[in-house]
Amino acid sequence: MAPPAFEEAHLLPGGVTLRKVTLARPAGPVVVSAERVDLWPSLLGVLTGARGHPWRFDADICNGTAKGTIALEGAATVIDVEFDEADFAACPVLELGGAALTARGRGNVHLRLEPVAPAHGNGQLELRDVMWRGQGLLAIFRANTASGSWRLEERRLTLASVDVRLPTLQVRGTGQVVLAEPLAQSDLRLALTLTSADPSDPPRPLLVGGTLGRPQVIGR
């Protein structure tokens, strides 16, 4: 990931505010953008020569808000973020070969970034008014709400819980994504249970495989 870029910087009492901030992959598209990011260093971090860490931040991001900390642990950078009312249609955090996610969401993220090792982390996500336009099994998908928790280890994203609510159906389960470049080619495995709003209809298991960009049913 390339260092963040910004158009303006202004001093705050005890900190700095950045305007029009973008974070992108090297020679790639923007991953996330923020209208404003306010940063405050730790006084103890300044006095002890820790370059102000842990820094606190507050941001207007993806048409929503976010706050958290950036800390150093040895050579690693540790980021903790809580965000609310994020507009995923306005924030291209997912780019899957033409796929698009529209939703409003809140959640939290914990990431540990090492200089040479893959990133590690975990988090939770809650979405509402969800629409996904992609390919294959999920060419067009709509849901009232969707939520889940995840864990990232050694380029393997484990979906510890998935809960999707449609008007007449609930989808719950777990899964795993083996991350690849480009992201759309990441291997996908989901073990789901489909429960109808009709109590006379028994729950149905569903196995989803393929790739993140083109999921497909591999078992029932």
Which of residues 10 and 28 earns the better pLDDT score? 10
Residue 139 and residue 155 in contact, taking contact as beta carbons nearer than 8 Å: no
Encode pLDDT of 135-146 as tens digits. 666 667 789 999
Which of 1-5, 41-45, 124-128, 213-217 shows the lowest mean pLDDT across its residues?
A: 1-5
List, as one string, the DSSP characters of 197-210: SSTTS--EEEEEEE
d(CA 125, CA 147): 5
User: Which one has a higher pLDDT value, 109 or 115?
Assistant: 109
| Of 197 and 93, more confident | 197
pLDDT exceeds cutoff 80 at 29: no
Is pLDDT above 60 for 97?
no
State which H helix or E strand residue 54 sits in. none
23 has pLDDT over 80: no
Nearest to 147 by CA among 168, 167, 170, 176: 170
Tell me how far CA of residue 12 lies from CA of 7, 70, 125, in angstroms: 16, 18, 31
CA–CA distance from 74 to each of 77, 80, 82 (Å)?
8, 16, 23
Confidence class of residue 119 from pLDDT cuts 50, 70 and 90?
Answer: confident
Amino acid 99: pLDDT: 64
- Percentage of the residues of the chain whose pLDDT score is greater than 90: 48
Query: Bridge partners of 25?
Result: none
What per-residue confidence (pLDDT) applies to 57?
A: 95
Region of 97 on the Ramachandran plot (φ > 0 left; ψ -120 to 50 alpha; else beta) = left
pLDDT at 113: 87
Query: Does position 187 have pLDDT exceeding 90, yes or no?
Result: yes
